[in-house]
Amino acid sequence: MLIAPPPGHANRKMTASSHIPVQMRLAIGQRSGIVHNHLYSGRLASTTNDSRLMIIVRDIAALRAALAELPRPRALVATMGALHAGHMALVAEAQRLAPDGVVASIFVNPLQFGPNEDFTRYPRLEAEDLAMLRAAGCNVAWLPPVEAMYPPGIATRITVAGPAEGFEGAVRPGHFEGVATVVTKLLNQTAPDAALFGEKDWQQVMVVTRLAADLDIPTRIVPVPTVRDPDGLALSSRNRHLTAAERTLAPLVHAVLCETAVRLRDGQPVVEAERQGADTLRASGFVPDYLSLVDAATLRPLKALQQPARILVAARLGGVRLLDNIAV
């Protein structure tokens, strides 16, 4: 059954990225909680077809019905929305692995936010996000409300030790319990052959990798390289909260990582290299939580450079907390 699009949606200009306008007309068919969004016309970035069909689901029954029609292999891109080119890189890799089986979730997960964090401030841009996913060729968009993900009476949470200890686990108590719980549910709900996560949140990638291995979840966890602006700043949904002056300073985080890596390769003691990098950030107005050389898999701090290793950094600039890392 075809129904009229909601007010303001027909012939509305949207953006498939921050700079590509898209003129859309939507025919929306609704059945058992499944919404079919068909793009009839538009100029889309990286799109070879003139039309796309994407199923949007908002409850478990509708998700299962949609997945029953989705061919294998299947790949999951789990997001909290406010999508950018980094997320689109995940979708592109998902398409490479599962050309007709890409599932993307948008869910701002309350369990991974602390009581004084930015859950209510986190950007929610559903219409723009769906336009980007549709343009990128996503097959199923899973947008559960909180009550569908965490129904009344839910009493189970997932705790991961190992790579979840220290760094974000120490600065944000309970954060990785929330991440592990929602990721476990998403993997169980969508049963993907692969799930893709951005390397910008390297500790999260290692936590999810450990989780899948420990719980015998038959999904391959695929890290995807960090996407950066030309000045080196790692893309993040929270970057939009930076002021103009803060945005000018923000690339220093990546520059400090690169400088620290050079010092370590040149033989500077780890403690000195870490301290020098943190001091550089403080001198420019950042408040660093940590800058540390770690084992890339276990995230245990290293006293000497060895392979494989990563340098992790988290620093606050004004009201925005910036995370980044590089291999060294």
Active site residues: 87
3-state DSSP percent of the chain in helix, strand and coil, to 5: 35, 25, 40
Q: How far is CA 37 from the centre of its chain?
A: 23
Are 131 and 16 contacting, i.e. CB atoms less than 8 angstroms apart? yes
* Torsion 85-245-251-78 (CA) sign: negative
Say how far apart CA 150 and CA 197 lie, in whole Å: 22
How far is it, in rounded angstroms, from Cα 310 to Cα 271? 15
The vertex-315 CA angle with 199 and 174, nearest 5°, equals 70
3-state secondary structure 247-312: HHHCCHHHHHHHHHHHHHHCCCCHHHHHHHHHHHHHHCCCEEEEEEEEECCCCCECCCCCCCEEEE
Q: How far is CA 159 from CA 181, 185, 217, 239, 313, in A?
A: 8, 13, 15, 29, 23
Question: CB under 8 Å to 141, separation ≥6 — which residues?
Answer: 54, 55, 56, 57, 103, 104, 105, 106, 130, 133
User: 169: which residues sit within 8 A by CB, 6+ positions away?
Assistant: 175, 176, 203
Q: Which of 198, 195, 281 is nearest to 246 (CA)?
A: 281
Chain position carrying tokens 């292999």: 73
| CB of 279 closer than 8 Å to CB of 263 | no
